[in-house]
Amino acid sequence: MTSSPWLRCYRPRPAATVRLVCFPHAGSGAGAFRGWPELLPPWIELLAVQYPGREDRFTEPLLTDLSATADALADELAGLDDRPLALFGHSMGAALAHEVALRSADRGRPEPVHLVVSAREPVEHVVAGTVHLGGDEALRAELARLGGSSRLLLADAELWQLLAPVIRADYQLIETYRPAPGRLLGCPVTAFAAEHDTELTLDQARDWAHCTTGPFALRTFPGDHFYLVPHRERVLAALAACLLPVPAAR
């Protein structure tokens, strides 16, 4: 598992009954989830997706096409057939997790046992963006607007020089994403949304219900677009609750 270029397992749990695959947001990497396994119950093994061009894949070419990235990740996850998979993605990562789930269905493979999409609009609300076409100042202004850990990046000139190309490529990937309408999953879907996220209204988050014929739920949290950082324990408790086995019908 650790030899995979795409997946990091910071705490292997061979006896876990489900694997939770986590997709990072734009500009981030697998390390965003490094502290998560210790807060999850032992029956969940967490795998963090590592995109090319960051952390230990820093020298690899950046990807700017979401469809191609989802294809590669779907191929990678197809080899993990010994335990059920659940998918969680935050912001850009949510779009990727959704597309990977759709590809599993398209290829006749089992869908994830649960898809959790965080701080990301569903297909009918996707709009094009132009931040990736602007200069550094436009990119810096966008990160400052979103807040979160971006403030630390903006204050460090050397770090900015290293990571600005990564962030710009990720913005190109998500801003040029054009999801095809009408594709449905059958698995349970839960949307996580923050009460004060300027990128996603709660009404938009509820429309994730349209992406599946299965059960849907919306969970809300205090905070902004990066709510999951200050509320990590609450988020992980909610994630574990999503993955609890459904009792058999009597």
Distance of CA 239 to the CA centre of its chain: 13
φ, ψ (nearest 5 deg) of residue 214: -90, -170
- Among the listed residues 91, 104, 118, 150, the single catalytic one is 91
H or E element, residue 23: strand 18-23
**What is the C-alpha to C-alpha distance for residues 155 and 153, in angstroms, rounded to an integer?**
5
HSE-CB at 3 with a 13 A cutoff on CA atoms is: 1
Q: Which two tokens stand for residue 220?
A: 């809300």
In order of 16, 19, 70, 228, the CA distances from 100 in angstroms are 22, 15, 5, 22
* Bridge partners (DSSP) listed for residue 192: 118, 219
* Coil vs helix vs strand at 110: coil
Tell me phi and psi for residue 51, to 5 degrees. -75, 155
3 part of the active site: no
Tell me which residues are annotated as active site. 91
